[in-house]
């Protein structure tokens, strides 16, 4: 990212702008960023007032449409990793066709979505991947991709060149590669990364953090720094798909959850590489009371499914997030999308919050923690994330009273 910025022009070219009740979102591609701006800033940019600006401008969280959509293009994957969060293996018999995906992308574009994150299964197992990627670009959606990166040949690298960024799954280096039950090899991923870098593709890593690799995160960051990657995103190991099997063998302990934010912050400070934590880690982050204003300025979001995020499965089931299965086929979604039940239940998390979330100073940002975790433990949709340190402390205090 910094390298891109150094090369950068002094005046950015705006790719798209979307009106929002608070003002708007400005999308720039080079360098890539989204900026939430006020009504006044929009006016100064030359935009006329929008009907969306009739009401209050205070709420800068609720959006008119997601900024990104996560698309599982197929359930098929050759790797069959033992803890795959999607439980991917074979294609579903009724996966969306090329034309159906294109219709869905049209809908996203009409809503004002900026980016799509393509994944699977393994998206490269779809023969029409290039066609879908080019279609996204043609209609103004930025395609990004997650791949296991086990077998990227020339054709795959050429497709990657069309992406905004490509992230490869990597939970550990060398022998640690398999720590979370991942199949394949580090050597193959390393080879793919070098080929992608050579082709000037923007590359990052997705690293799932579990009990098995929390002590080895330095190696992953050091590797990313060494080979010149854009970023490393740390994802919490979650109990969905095959991840529910032997969850306790992999799930971070409370002590680990409490220590993960300082560990990652320290790695970022030391190695000077962009590091991200995924939304399910927000309770672990806010436990350390980082500066709220800084978090807001960086657009830190907790469980934001159904607001900035929408997910769709290979069969066309829509949901607020890929970790929470949707049961309704919603290929064509209209402007009232947030009222549809798979999204509404995410929207209502805050108003239905229970203690200790209800009175937690971080509720607006965290939104009760990860729904995938709460649901796994049998909670209601808006119940507190039982792995949040504040929730653990609250419950143990309640027990002793």
Partner 1 sequence: MKKKRIVLPKGVIKIKPGYNPNSSSIGTVIYSFPLVYIVLSTIAALLTALLTSKKKNRNE
| Residue ranges binding ligand SF4 (CB under 6 A) | 279-280, 283, 286, 303-305, 309, 321, 323-324, 356-357, 360, 362-363, 366, 368-372, 384-385, 388, 390-391
DSSP 64: S
- Pick from partner 1, ligand SF4, none: which does 8 bind, CB < 5 to 8 A by kind? partner 1
Q: What are phi and psi of 261, to 5 degrees?
A: -65, -50
Of 312 and 368, the one with the shorter C-beta distance to ligand SF4 is: 368
Q: Which of residues 235-294 bind partner 1 (CB under 8 A)?
A: 235, 261, 264-265, 267-269, 272-282, 285, 290-291, 293-294
- Pick from partner 1, ligand SF4, none: which does 12 bind, CB < 5 to 8 A by kind? partner 1
Of 274 and 394, the one with the shorter C-beta distance to partner 1 is: 274
Of 225 and 358, the one with the shorter C-beta distance to partner 1 is: 225
Site string for partner 1, 363-392 (x = CB under 8 A): ------------------------------
Rg (CA), the chain: 21
Of 85 and 223, the one with the shorter C-beta distance to partner 1 is: 85
List all residues 6 or more positions away from 79 whose beta carbon is below 8 Å from its beta carbon. Answer: 122, 148, 150, 182, 183, 184
Q: Which of residues 33-52 bind partner 1 (CB under 8 A)?
A: 33-38, 40-41, 44-46
- Pick from ligand SF4, partner 1, none: which does 368 bind, CB < 5 to 8 A by kind? ligand SF4
For residues 393 and 380, is the Cβ–Cβ distance under 8 A? no
- Rounded to whole angstroms, the Cα distance separating 310 from 119 reads 14
Max CA separation in the chain (angstroms): 64
- Pick from partner 1, ligand SF4, none: which does 360 bind, CB < 5 to 8 A by kind? ligand SF4
Q: 113-141 b/e with 16+ CB inside 10 Å = b?
A: bbbbbbbbbbbbbbeebeebbebbeeeeb
Rule CB under 8 A: choose which of 81, 113, 117, 373 binds partner 1: 117
- Rounded to whole angstroms, the Cα distance separating 4 from 22 reads 30
Q: What is the smallest separation between the CB atom of 343 and partner 1, expressed in angstroms?
A: 15
- Pick from partner 1, ligand SF4, none: which does 164 bind, CB < 5 to 8 A by kind? partner 1
Q: What is the smallest separation between the CB atom of 120 and ligand SF4, expressed in angstroms?
A: 17
Write the Ramachandran bin of 174: left for phi over 0, alpha for psi from -120 to 50, otherwise beta: left
- DSSP annotation string for 293-329: HHHHHTT--SS-BTTTEEEE-TT-EEESSTTS---EE
For residues 184 and 150, is the Cβ–Cβ distance under 8 A? yes
Of 107 and 206, the one with the shorter C-beta distance to partner 1 is: 206
Of 100 and 233, the one with the shorter C-beta distance to partner 1 is: 233
- Rounded to whole angstroms, the Cα distance separating 9 from 132 reads 30
- Rounded to whole angstroms, the Cα distance separating 317 from 96 reads 10
**Which secondary structure element, helix H or strand E, spans residue 169, and what is its range?**
strand 166-169
Told to check if 106 binds partner 1 by CB under 8 A, we report no
Rule CB under 8 A: choose which of 76, 102, 115, 182 binds partner 1: 115
Is 394 strand, coil or helix? helix
Q: What is the smallest separation between the CB atom of 384 and partner 1, expressed in angstroms?
A: 18
- Pick from ligand SF4, partner 1, none: which does 144 bind, CB < 5 to 8 A by kind? partner 1
- DSSP annotation string for 18-48: EEETTEEEEEEETTEEEEEEEHHHHHHHTPP
- Pick from ligand SF4, partner 1, none: which does 230 bind, CB < 5 to 8 A by kind? partner 1
């Amino acid at each position: 990212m910094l390298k891109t910025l150094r090369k950068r022009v002094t005046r950015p070219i705006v790719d798209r702008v979307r009106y929002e009740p608070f003002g708007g979102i400005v999308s720039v591609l080079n360098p890539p960023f989204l900026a939430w701006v006020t009504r006044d800033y929009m006016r100064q940019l030359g935009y006329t007032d929008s009907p969306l600006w009739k009401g209050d401008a205070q709420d800068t969280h609720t959006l008119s449409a997601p900024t990104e959509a996560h698309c599982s293009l197929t359930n098929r994957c050759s790797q069959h990793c033992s803890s795959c969060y999607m439980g991917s293996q074979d294609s579903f018999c009724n996966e969306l066709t090329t034309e159906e995906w294109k219709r869905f992308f049209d809908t996203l574009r009409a809503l004002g979505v900026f980016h799509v994150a393509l994944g699977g299964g393994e998206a490269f197992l779809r023969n029409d991947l290039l066609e879908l990627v080019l279609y996204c670009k043609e209609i103004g959606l930025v395609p990004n991709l997650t791949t296991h990166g086990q077998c990227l040949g020339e054709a795959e690298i050429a497709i990657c060149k069309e992406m905004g960024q490509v992230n490869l799954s990597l939970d550990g280096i060398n022998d640690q590669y398999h720590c979370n039950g991942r199949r394949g090899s580090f050597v193959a991923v390393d080879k793919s990364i070098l080929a992608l870098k050579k082709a000037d593709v923007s590359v990052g890593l997705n690293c799932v953090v579990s009990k098995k690799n929390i002590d080895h995160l330095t190696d992953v960051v050091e590797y990313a720094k060494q080979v010149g990657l854009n970023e490393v995103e740390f994802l919490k190991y979650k109990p969905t798909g095959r991840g529910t099997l032997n969850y306790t063998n992999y799930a971070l302990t409370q002590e680990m959850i409490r220590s993960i934010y300082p560990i990652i912050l320290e790695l970022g400070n030391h190695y000077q590489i962009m590091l991200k934590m995924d939304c399910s880690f927000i309770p672990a982050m806010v436990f350390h009371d980082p500066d709220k204003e800084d978090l807001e300025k960086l657009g830190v979001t907790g469980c934001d499914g159904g607001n900035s995020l929408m997910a769709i499965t290979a069969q066309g089931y829509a949901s607020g997030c890929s970790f929470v299965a949707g049961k309704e086929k919603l290929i064509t979604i209209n402007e009232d999308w947030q009222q549809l039940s798979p999204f509404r239940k995410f929207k209502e998390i805050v108003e239905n919050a229970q203690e200790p979330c209800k009175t937690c100073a971080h509720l607006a940002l965290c939104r009760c923690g990860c729904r995938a975790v709460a649901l796994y433990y049998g909670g209601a949709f808006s119940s507190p994330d039982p792995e949040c340190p504040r929730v653990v402390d609250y419950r143990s205090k309640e027990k002793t009273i």
